[in-house]
Amino acid sequence: MGSIDAEVLGSEKKSNPGKATILALGKAFPHQLVMQEYLVDGYFKTTKCDDPELKQKLTRLCKTTTVKTRYVVMSEEILKKYPELAIEGGSTVTQRLDICNDAVTEMAVEASRACIKNWGRSISEITHLVYVSSSEARLPGGDLYLAKGLGLSPDTHRVLLYFVGCSGGVAGLRVAKDIAENNPGSRVLLATSETTIIGFKPPSVDRPYDLVGVALFGDGAGAMIIGSDPDPVCEKPLFELHTAIQNFLPDTEKTIDGRLTEQGINFKLARELPQIIEDNVENFCKKLIGKAGLAHKNYNQMFWAVHPGGPAILNRMERRLNLSPEKLSPSRRALMDYGNASSNSIVYVLEYMLEESKKVRNMNEEENEWGLILAFGPGVTFEGIIAINLDV
């Protein structure tokens, strides 16, 4: 358990012709920064709740999540304008969507602009847009409002992925990879944007599971540019996206359950989720590596960019796959600094992974060229991509 031996296909830090690559990353956050140590008092004060048992439970959860800081859209100004959001049982979905629809577009525009700036080419060269969010609902969708906010050409081909949850970032990357490889010369903007306002509620003894979300989830946006055959003059590929697969686990659809109601989205995460992921992750990784046509390789000779769903999931993965502690360091750092930011998180993990890769090179240590990009979401759905680190 934990290794698949031997050699791997060769790569010389140059992308293979026709294979999709990540050409740039970008991120954005709302202005409200929440320090985890102050969250409990602030949350109970805001919602005018004085239940000592719930407060004690949230205090324990805040410590176990390992989160230190998060960004959120929710603010005193919003609650002054919409005090009903902090009151149990009211019909508030219209107000929530009004806030969320504007907020996710604003963050997605900011993250996309940062990404395009890092890319270094003109926005007019973007041919496709993939937009991911589980925090809004409208028609036309957020993809159109993002395209409008960026000033993209009306000829831009758009794909919208709604309510894919925590696997959305890697799902969007898989879709962008397919688009880039089947449309030579295309440049795909992938944008993700999320806010927890859609599910914000006061604490309740009838919904103790809500406290997990309060302690764990954060807001923000992420963006990537994906394209094949990068121009060596003006583009610097970061990762090659070699092979991607998706797999759902039958009869687990209630494990991550979300319902849009008059009170916003109600989420339930089953206690057995970390165990389900632990029980199935190794077979999924073997399937992914096998489909990539790679000879067997020790897991600890690969990099791991894993969605940080929570410390229990990361700990169980580390144990099941026999990973050395530093392998999931980028995921743990993203969790600590931003919380579980749903579909956005994989962007933050990849940024930290590149940062740590540079440190390894500066210390003249051997770095891991091949690796896996993984996420888990409703279904339960596994998303995975075998990638090559091209950043030199």
pLDDT in tens, 120-150: 999 999 999 999 999 999 999 999 999 999 9
Of 313, 319, 355, 354, the C-alpha closest to 332 is 313
Place of tokens 């270094």: 120
What is the chain's pLDDT, residue by residue, as a tens digit (392 residues)? Answer: 344 333 344 444 678 899 999 999 999 999 999 999 999 999 999 998 989 999 999 999 999 999 999 999 999 999 999 999 999 888 999 999 999 999 999 999 999 999 999 999 999 999 999 999 999 999 999 999 999 999 999 999 999 999 999 999 999 999 999 999 999 999 999 999 999 999 999 999 888 888 999 999 999 999 999 999 999 999 999 999 999 999 999 999 999 998 888 988 888 889 999 999 999 999 999 999 999 887 666 899 899 999 999 999 999 999 999 999 999 999 999 999 999 999 999 999 999 999 998 887 776 565 568 999 999 999 999 999 999 999 86
Distance CA 218, CA 34 (A): 9
Tokens read off for 300: 């600890």
Query: What is the reported pLDDT for 367?
Result: 59
Dihedral angle computed from the Cα positions of residues 159, 164, 168 and 173, in that order, rounded to the nearest 10 degrees: -40
Helices (H), ranges, 183-223:
210-216
Known catalytic membership, residue 166: yes
Query: What is the reported pLDDT for 363?
Result: 67
Distance CA 194, CA 342 (A): 7
Of 225, 293, 226, 279, the C-alpha closest to 249 is 279
Question: In order of start, what are the domains of the chain with their CATH numbers?
Answer: 20-228 (3.40.47.10), 239-389 (3.40.47.10)
Distance CA 31, CA 146 (A): 20
Confirm if 121 and 155 have CB atoms less than 8 A apart: no
Distance CA 335, CA 217 (A): 9
SS3 24: strand
> DSSP states of 367-388 as a string?
P--EEEEEEEETTTEEEEEEEE
Query: What is the reported pLDDT for 364?
Result: 59
Give bridge partners of residue 374 from the DSSP assignment.
Answer: 306, 384
Distance CA 171, CA 168 (A): 5
Distance CA 238, CA 318 (A): 25
Helical (H) or strand (E) element with 243: strand 239-248
Distance CA 94, CA 39 (A): 26
SS3 347: helix
Confirm if 103 and 62 have CB atoms less than 8 A apart: no
Distance CA 29, CA 114 (A): 12
Confirm if 190 and 223 have CB atoms less than 8 A apart: yes
> DSSP states of 34-86 as a string?
EEHHHHHHHHHHHTT---HHHHHHHHHHHHHT---EEEES--HHHHHH-GGGG
Q: 359: buried, middle or exposed (CB in 10 Å: 19+, 13-18, 0-12)? A: exposed
Distance CA 173, CA 148 (A): 22
Query: What is the reported pLDDT for 1?
Result: 37
Distance CA 118, CA 113 (A): 9
The active-site residue out of 62, 100, 115, 166 is: 166
Kindly report the backbone phi and psi dihedral angles of residue 5, in degrees, each rounded to the nearest multiple of 5, phi listed first: -75, 175
